[in-house]
Amino acid sequence: MAYNPSFVDIEYAARTAILEAALKVASIFDYTRFKDDIDKASKVITYLKAIQNDDSLTFDEKTQIYQCIISTAGIFDFPVAPQLGSASVPDIILGGSGNTVIINQGSSLTQGSNTDIDVTTETVDTFATNLYQSVLWLYKVTSPSGAIRSGTISATWTGSLVEWAEASTLDLNGDTSGLTFDVTNNGTVIALRATVTSNNWQVYFTRIPNYIN
Amino acid sequence: MALLPILTLAVNSDITTGIATDSTVYGGAEPARNSLGVFVVYRKINASGEATNIVTLPDNADPNLVTSWTFDYGDDGRYSGLYIAVPNYTVATYALNDCVHSSGVVYQSQSSGNVSTNLLDTNFWLPIASPALLVVAENVPANCTTANLQVILNRKTNRYVGDFALEASLDCDCSNIDTHNYFYTLQLYNEGMIIANSRARFADGEKLAVKAKKLYTTCLANGI
């Protein structure tokens, strides 16, 4: 089965390549000896900035730039021999050829809850920023009166910055608008937080890393 | 749930002062802000992992009210913000090493089962000169919220990347190839610092900061 890295995968691997190149160049006094590494890394930096700073790029243009990143950074240089005999928990693969969805290894899924959320803001989930680069939470909210909604929150971060987005079902059995989520990043810890307008709310979640370091 | 300390960092325009603003959520299910004495100190961590304390000044002398701190910004690299929230003293039984805050002073319990109400009785309580340093001490108080918030700061390198880019742009016919090489190398160090920070690879980030400083200092000394 061919593995097609996502844009997020490519960006992460490209940044890894940049960091490795920087450390390599920094390891000696005469950095000019690594001019080729500097040139390649500089191109990758430029390509990444082109993607990040231009909202007008089409999907095809982005794909072309990502291909340049792959070839310049020397990442995802497939084909590779399959790795057999892994003792780790296997991936769960859904869908047919060309439409596969890989849910990350079972050991990386995290389930949890905060079953007593009171006014005003409480933390639902926390983890170190260096564990992943992005994450998806599946959640179910239950109000004090039994109204429920389900949804997802995706988040990605770098440094002390974080971007997140929520999508959810409509409410059942009443109104759950009294609970809102947000995601914070203090540079070390990512926190999924719930802000409520009354006491005794419940949140159950499953955390799925989009990329494992 | 426990407090989740968050310090939001900024650096002034001439890159001489860091400003840490307390973005921690207090109140609600968490302790009220005025029930805690909050103390912060910043430290610079060198490539060997050794820490140097930096004078860190609160914007309010009352630890129950302070919301931001300033510290001298020296070199780019690895900084560590030590945060401690100490509960105000109330009559209770305190464990060994527990801390309480009273009128701007933090006292640490010297015994288990400490019920002494006299904070000046040094048999039971000792004043702590630098409460935030308790975060990295052996006797961390279990009744306080503590955090060691590390970060790689790259403000100076980032500025010199801009300066070097200008120099390289002015040399559009590439007559002085060194100008371009210096820019690309410094840009690589700068990006490496940003990535190291996002991945909590603080030792690597510090290493790159040192090399970046060496590069732009040499260039400046040679008039490049």
- Going by pLDDT thresholds of 50, 70 and 90, the confidence category of residue A204 is very high
Please write the tens of the pLDDT for every residue from A45-72: 988 888 887 778 888 888 888 888 888 8
Residues of B at the A interface, defined by Cβ within 8 angstroms:
1-2, 4-9, 23, 25, 27-30, 147, 149-151, 181, 184-185, 187-189, 191-201, 204, 207-208, 211, 215
Task: Give average pLDDT by consecutive 10-residue segment, chain B, 224 residues.
Answer: 86 94 91 96 94 95 96 96 97 97 97 95 96 95 95 94 82 71 90 93 95 89 74
Put simply, the answer to whether B191 touches A41 (Cβ < 8 Å) is: yes
For residue A7, the model assigns a pLDDT of: 82
Average pLDDT for A2-11: 76
Label residue B128 left, alpha or beta by phi (over 0 means left) and psi (-120 to 50 means alpha): beta
Check residue A84 and give its pLDDT. Answer: 43
Our measurement of the distance from residue B149's CA atom to the centroid of its chain's CA atoms, rounded to an integer in Å, reads 6
Please give the C-alpha separations between residue B198 and each of A10, A36, A96, A106, A205, in angstroms, as whole numbers: 16, 25, 35, 25, 25
Best B149, B164, B191 member to test A by mutation, with max A CBs in 10 Å, is B191
Q: What pLDDT, on the 0 to 100 scale, is given for residue A126?
A: 85
CB atoms within 10 A of CB B16: 10
Chain A residues touching chain B at CB-CB below 8 Å: 15-16, 18-19, 21-23, 25-26, 31-32, 35, 38-39, 41-42, 45, 114, 117-123, 126, 128-130, 133, 157-160, 184, 186-189, 191, 193, 213
Helix axes B155-170, B202-221, angle to 10 degrees: 40
pLDDT of residue A211: 56
pLDDT at position B165 is: 83
State the DSSP string of A66-92: HHHHHHHHT-S----PPP----SPPPE
Residue A197 pLDDT grade (very low, low, confident, very high; cuts 50, 70, 90): very high
